[in-house]
């Protein structure tokens, strides 16, 4: 199977919204009047972002999900995706499962795959996503203001716990283990929530590298600080239970505060917007939880169960470039 046959067989579908889809030198799209386009690109490398033997259907899902999450973070509706991939070989079963996972998620959001490139090489996947957002209404990292409430969607730390399970650093009962692995391997991008938060949230980011690091980006771009409370961070009961014993506390803190791959939204909104934030969560079908607030300054303080600031220096945000 050569490159062109591979693209034709697994990654070509008729264009619907696009003017021209896969199969020419470029895809063509006609922008919608009054809308801006939101673009983001993410590269996933085997052995760093996923295990080399990752189940291909879940990998297809995740490859697109991390990009949809970027759209969600700015409140854009994802419309088009381009996929570039280096593959060690052209295994039909693998490709079929990978494309099934990718298209299932794409279909859920009406996202069209409009272009791509395949080549042989160490397994590497790169999706570029194109979303639409009404002009001037995108949620930015830079909009947080002192007094804003800091919120997160869903639960934190589950995916990082899943990675710890895979790496043998955490032993969980069957059901919890499945939940953790599922969060890691099949994250649910918060697209509906991002859209519902337009005009409500003051700033937003997706939690891909861990809460401390990602909230840190909001603070940096907003020139502000924040104070959040450990006890308010939404997480699975089995993860919370591990905060107590000294033996498991560090790992639990790491998962909650610095674990990557949550793909939840962290966002801020003035306290006056609380009711609307909760309504947006309901509308999107995802829990939203206030975890603290934005303060003057530049520091991020995470208060422990006794109101003391945790030492965050040992909790490095997940850095895909780190060794």
Cβ closest to a copy of itself, residue 124 vs residue 177: 124
3-state secondary structure of 233: coil
The CA–CA distances, whole Å, from 278 to 174, 291, 322 equal 32, 13, 37
Question: Is residue 60 at the binding interface for a copy of itself, with CB under 8 A as the rule?
Answer: no
Q: How far is the CB of 248 from a copy of itself (least distance, A)?
A: 28
72 close to 193: Cβ distance less than 8 angstroms: yes
Question: Is residue 196 at the binding interface for a copy of itself, with CB under 8 A as the rule?
Answer: no
Compute, in degrees rounded to 10, the torsion defined by CA atoms 229, 233, 238, 241: 10
Question: Is residue 63 at the binding interface for a copy of itself, with CB under 8 A as the rule?
Answer: no
Site for a copy of itself in 235-264 (CB under 8 A): none
**Going by C-beta distance under 8 Å and a sequence separation of 6 or more, which residues neighbour residue 237?**
none
Among 54, 65, 95, 126, binds a copy of itself (CB under 8 A): 126
User: In a 10 Å sphere around its CB, with 0-12 CB exposed, 13-18 middle and 19+ buried, how is residue 45 labelled?
Assistant: middle
Specify the stretch interacting with a copy of itself by CB under 8 A; choose among 67-75, 270-278, 289-297, 300-308: 67-75
Question: Is residue 91 at the binding interface for a copy of itself, with CB under 8 A as the rule?
Answer: no
The CA–CA distances, whole Å, from 240 to 79, 209, 251, 290, 318 equal 37, 20, 11, 17, 21
Cβ closest to a copy of itself, residue 19 vs residue 241: 19
Q: How far is the CB of 210 from a copy of itself (least distance, A)?
A: 13
Among 29, 183, 277, 300, binds a copy of itself (CB under 8 A): 29
Tell me which DSSP letter residue 232 carries.
G
Question: Is residue 93 at the binding interface for a copy of itself, with CB under 8 A as the rule?
Answer: no
Cβ closest to a copy of itself, residue 115 vs residue 252: 115
Q: Both tokens of residue 14?
A: 């008729």
Question: Is residue 298 at the binding interface for a copy of itself, with CB under 8 A as the rule?
Answer: no
Question: Is residue 51 at the binding interface for a copy of itself, with CB under 8 A as the rule?
Answer: no
């Amino acid at each position: 199977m050569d490159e062109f046959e591979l693209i034709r067989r697994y990654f070509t579908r008729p264009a619907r919204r696009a003017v021209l889809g896969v199969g020419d030198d470029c895809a063509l799209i006609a922008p919608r009047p009054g809308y801006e386009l939101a673009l983001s690109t993410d590269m996933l490398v085997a052995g760093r972002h996923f295990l080399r033997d990752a189940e291909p259907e879940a990998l297809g899902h995740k490859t697109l999900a991390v990009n949809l999450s970027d759209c969600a973070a700015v409140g854009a509706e994802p419309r088009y995706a381009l996929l570039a991939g280096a593959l060690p070989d052209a295994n039909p079963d693998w490709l079929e499962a990978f494309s099934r996972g990718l298209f299932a998620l794409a279909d859920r959001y009406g996202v069209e795959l409009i272009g791509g490139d395949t080549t042989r090489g160490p397994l590497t996947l790169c999706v570029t996503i194109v979303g639409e957002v009404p002009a001037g209404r995108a949620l930015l990292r830079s909009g947080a203001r002192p007094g804003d409430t800091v919120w997160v969607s869903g639960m934190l730390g589950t995916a990082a716990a899943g990675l710890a399970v895979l790496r043998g650093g955490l032993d969980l009962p069957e059901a919890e283990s499945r939940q953790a692995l599922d969060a890691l391997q099949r994250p649910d991008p918060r697209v509906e929530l991002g859209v519902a938060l337009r005009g409500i949230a003051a700033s937003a980011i997706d939690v891909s590298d861990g809460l401390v690091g990602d909230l840190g980006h909001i603070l940096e771009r907003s020139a502000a600080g924040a104070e959040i409370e450990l006890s308010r961070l939404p997480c699975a009961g089995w993860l919370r239970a591990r905060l107590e014993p000294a033996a498991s506390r560090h790992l639990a803190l790491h998962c909650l505060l610095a674990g990557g791959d949550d793909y939840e939204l962290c966002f801020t909104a003035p306290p006056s917007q609380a009711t609307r934030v909760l309504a947006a969560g309901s509308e999107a079908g995802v829990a939203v939880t206030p975890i603290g607030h934005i303060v003057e300054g530049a520091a991020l303080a995470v208060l422990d169960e006794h109101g003391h600031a945790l030492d965050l220096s040992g909790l490095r945000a997940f850095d895909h470039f780190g060794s």
